[in-house]
Amino acid sequence: MASTTVKSVELGEYRVNYASEGSGPTMIMLHGSDKREDWKVWQPLIELSKEYTLVMPDLVGFGHSTIPPETPDYKVQARVLHEMMERLGIQKAIFVGTSWGGQVALEVAINWPQSVEDLILISSTYDKSQLLKLKSVKKPALIIWAEDDLVAQLKAGYLLRDSIGTARLEVLGAVAKNPHYDFTIAHKLERYRKDVIISLMRGFLSAPGEKIAEPPELEPELKGMAMKEEKEEKS
């Protein structure tokens, strides 16, 4: 496996620090909004560099990128990322985002769909204004959630899946079983469920169009209601 290279690129008023590793199709990986986060949150998934060129930026306001007085919102972050792609000569990429990074990835897909090959969202946040625009994106998407995530709750995963329309939702079992974990443990899936995350990503990316061909999954209580109604109709 190649060693990680860290560089920076000047984009108008902002300097974006980014790490890259590997070869193959480009995968842009976006971290969350915790001020302690930077590109290194993706180190547990670095073995994906065997198949992909991983490009892992520090979003503006984080890590070694420009730290302005106020952190730019997800719309500005998306614009900066698109400019970074143009500067680096990246025409199209797989976008992977965790937490707020997923929200930024969604904004790139909404505004520059030609730049996005596929989407992978891990416990992603979103803005309500984005939901109505996601149907037009039409990009295969893998959404990964933990059933006990208290930061981005599971219902948000269902909502994103249904809003995108071309998405597959994978729900992982309870993560926060260890009493030493804090309540955000499920929100850091790339760290604590790295093996299953890598497996799900590789499986999805092997045939994205096929992987989204699934019937809508109902939440257990809704599924129970549907079965009860069907039984009553037959009787």
Amino acid letter for position 212: I
Per-residue pLDDT of the chain (235 residues; tens, 9 = 90+): 458 999 999 999 999 999 999 999 999 999 999 888 999 999 999 999 999 999 999 999 999 999 999 999 999 999 999 999 999 999 999 999 999 999 999 999 999 999 999 999 999 999 999 999 999 999 999 999 988 887 888 999 999 999 999 999 999 988 766 555 555 555 688 888 899 999 999 999 999 988 775 545 545 544 444 444 445 555 4
Tokens at residue 54, please? 């991983």
Q: What is the tally of structural domains in the chain? A: 1
Secondary structure class of 59 (helix, strand, coil):
coil
C-alpha neighbours within 13 Å on the C-beta side of residue 180? 0
CATH number at residue 139: 3.40.50.1820
Residues of the domain holding 78: 5-234
Q: How far, in whole angstroms, is CA 222 from its chain's centroid?
A: 27
Alpha helices in 66-177, H assignment, sequence order: 74-88, 100-111, 128-131, 154-164
